[in-house]
Structure 1
Amino acid sequence: MSRPVLPSLTALALGGLLLAGTALHATTATAHDARAPIEVEADRLDLDDRAGTAVYTGEVDIRQGTLRVTGDRVEIQRNAAGELSRAIATGERAYLEQQPDPAEPVVRGWGRTIVYHVAERRMELIDRAELHQRGDTFEGGYLEYFLDRRVVQARAESEGVEGRQRIRMTLQPEQ
């Protein structure tokens, strides 16, 4: 007996976007984000229930609580267990922001490709990458940021990076 398609598609298109939800650590901000309504704007949506993907195209803007993802194209992927596993935003200037904790400022990231690994709470910013965190800024070809540990790793060259983009950073003095 096959399962009904509509509930699965609805879960992927709506509940599946819970980027700040089920697989994340329960900080106050992420717990709030997980309970917040999901708002999506796009020109097109293509769902593939069997593949576990939802692809939004055309000036995509996804918001849930403190989380915002924008790009020309955003693909949401589920794993075999049906849990959200990754969000991939692409475009000339894809964007992701989230406030990891209410006492901290919003973390903002840009790149031509952004990959958000949900369970790891890790974002990869690829090609013309830029990250703003607590007044500090990082730029380069590839930036990787671990939200919970607040660890940044940067590379001038990496797969998906056009040419060599040297690392630049501005660090604010301790207050």
Structure 2
Amino acid sequence: MNIHGKKVILRAIEETDLPLLHQWANDPEIWKMLGGWHFPSSFEYQKKWFAALGTDQLNQRFAVEAPGVGLIGTTNLVDVDWKNNNAFHGVMLGAKDIRGKGYGIDTIMSVMRFAFEELHLERLDTTIIEYNTISLNIYTNKCGWKHEGTRRNWYFRNNRYWDRLEMGITRADYFALVEESNYWADDQG
């Protein structure tokens, strides 16, 4: 089953995606904008990561594909808590030439639609490094997420500490956004 947005398709990550994912995994310009710690990784490591994807029901990762363009990134729903109906969400657009064209917004909206309308989750969480103002703008001003807190001096980058912005959205927030923006109005899905 693929998840269709207005501009993107979220699908399973396939073995044929690994060369491009490996390239992005070793691009410091991409990873400085994301949380977590990253080491240079080999293609062998990438294959082992891929082999473990299908067995993990609490951590779902998707390829982000744009029709006519191809693979442009990945997104996820991880640390899924089925008892309390919440999950952590992240997105990484690796293809630099597609940025600023609405693919990130559509990816986030598509993940929210799947999480809230299909999985019946109650909330999603994410974190943003304080200097990633592009992501902060997309999540808060375009996709309805709320800044729920700050963890000071959380990330260490370029020989200094940066704050971690805690972001969240609830089912009610999502449905209010969709009603106000008519985001899915032209969609038949």
Decide which structure has greater helix share.
Answer: 2
Decide which structure has greater strand share.
Answer: 1
The answer, yes or no, to whether TM exceeds 0.5 is no
Question: TM-score, normalized by length of structure 1?
Answer: 0.37
Question: TM-score, normalized by length of structure 2?
Answer: 0.35
